[in-house]
Amino acid sequence: MEYLPNGCLRDYLQKNQHRLEHRSLLLYAWQICKGMEYLGAQRCVHRDLATRNILVESETHVKIGDFGLAKLLPQDKEYYVVQEPGQSPVFWYAPESLADNVFSRASDIWSFGVLLYELFTYSNKSRSPSEEFLRMMGTEKAVQIICHLLELLKDNRRLPAPAGCPVEVRPPPSKAWWGSQGSPAPVTPPSLSPGLCADAELLGFLPRHQTHLQRAGTQN
């Protein structure tokens, strides 16, 4: 088993926020995106994509880890229905996963959007996805979290766009994971996008920045 002394991306972001520029965050996002594209091509659904499950090999290289919840899609279906009980990272889940335990490449794309939010908040504990959604729910709704979370998502309530987040990283309004500052997102995220890295459908910065990101990724 490979040992990566820098630990997980969540802790790495928290410890190194003062020196990590957006260029580095964009590089990590691109590498994770490419990793998820590969997993999708193998018909593998990760189901737990979050900064805590991304491992840092070096300052310019991260890797997807923790496949404990991963599932291979059946050959005759493009989704998987989870039937075994157990705890789940619900605040990273797509609505169909919360409502019906259905997981697919599309639900991994949703989780990738939540991961982008984590990246550009430097995994700040007070602004974590769970803390943000719990604030939206209010303390009186701290029980039956899944039901209340589904209500929020159906009402087009989303995580706020991180302060200072590059415009290129924010998806178009018609494909928003996050809401604009102080307002809910207008529609559902890009759950139907056919590929995680297809011509900047998810990462609008790739056409302009892909060359220098690739070059930076080889310097390890």
Q: For residue 30, which of 93, 111, 94, 116 has the smallest C-alpha distance?
A: 116
- For the question of residue 48 being annotated catalytic, the response is yes
What are 133's two structure tokens? 């959604």
Catalytic residue among 11, 48, 66, 108: 48
Q: Is 146 exposed, middle or buried (0-12, 13-18, 19+ CB in 10 A)?
A: middle
Instruction: Quote the CA–CA distance of 15 and 34 in Å, as a whole number.
Output: 25
Q: For residue 200, which of 166, 159, 171 has the smallest C-alpha distance?
A: 171
Instruction: Quote the CA–CA distance of 194 and 192 in Å, as a whole number.
Output: 6
Active site residues: 48
